[in-house]
Amino acid sequence: MTHNGVVAGGGSLTDWISLGVLASSVPRDAVDAAVAAAGKGAKRSDGKLPPHVMVYFVMALALFAEEDYEEVATRLTETLASWGCWDESWAAPTSGGITQARQRLGPEPVELLFDQVAGPVAGLLTRGAFLRHWRLMAIDGFTLDVPDTPANAAAFGYPAGAREHPAFPKVRVVTIGECGSHAKVAAQLGPVGGKGSSEQALARRLYPQLEEDWLLIADRGFYNWPDWQAAAAAGAALLWRVKAGLRLPVLGVLPDGSYLSVLAKPTLHDKARADCWQWPHRRRPLWWPREASMWTT
């Protein structure tokens, strides 16, 4: 390596660090297990782009999003050789060969691999990772352009409301990520339009994965009564923003200036709702209706 941070053979030091982290986080055994579970094993023993190589290549594309196929393949080849995942008789593949190999691989092994290896990575000393005994997590959504192919257009669709036909279909993504490390530990993908395509609908599939020692932070777009109940049932602590019009009566003020309140089921009639709010000013209620849940803000 030269004094300017360039590694002999091409690529910056940060590139090689990124690939090294990939190697340590996603071991070859996990990749092989995901490929086998998806039924995507190599058809030929002498293939130059076996499935495990393509899985690493797909992940490398995310690390070097600005580079083309052949450039990413060149960066990855030497790294794979050092891991024992690359045959010296092979040559760096062409763009056409990579496209065909990706089509053979499909998305299933990558999805299975993500489910297997994704998880919190922050340690106790990681800044911003913990609040008291809770691990700080956040749920958020975004959209990504995908290649303009008939299959992607049918699966994900185009954004609605644009004056001109969009150039690319879009996929909606909702993830749960660790605040201290920004590592994504769970994700759901879906179309940008149609029934069940909202961020709330995708998030609903993630709530069963919440852990009891997590504090899940969410923006106000995720709140509704059924989803709050579903997330709370998983055992995690919740810190969600809500719309200003939601009624949150003050049942008790805490020393730090926050207060205890109650969320009442929207369909609850006024008398039952009022009964929920007549809670004695104690830390724990003597009774608690099934139509209400705790809220601290």
Residue type, 29: D
Tens digit of each residue's pLDDT (9 = 90 or more) over 270-283:
666 666 656 544 44
What pLDDT shows up at residue 219?
Answer: 95
- Report the predicted TM-score, pTM, of the whole model to 2 decimal places: 0.78
Is 180:201 a contact under the CB 8 Å cutoff? no
In the chain, what is the straight-line distance between the N-terminal and C-terminal CA atoms, in Å? Answer: 52
Q: Choose among 110, 106, 107, 97: nearest CA to 70.
A: 97
Q: Where in the chain is the domain with CATH 3.30.420?
A: 119-244
Predicted pLDDT at 41:
85
pLDDT of residue 142: 95
CATH code of the domain made up of 119-244: 3.30.420
> What parts of the chain have a pLDDT lower than 70?
1-18, 44-48, 83-92, 162, 269-297
| Burial readout 57-85 (b: 16 or more C-beta within 10 A, e: otherwise) | bbbbbebbeeeebeebbebbbbbbeeeeb
pLDDT tens-digit profile of 13-44? 455 556 777 777 888 899 999 999 999 987 76
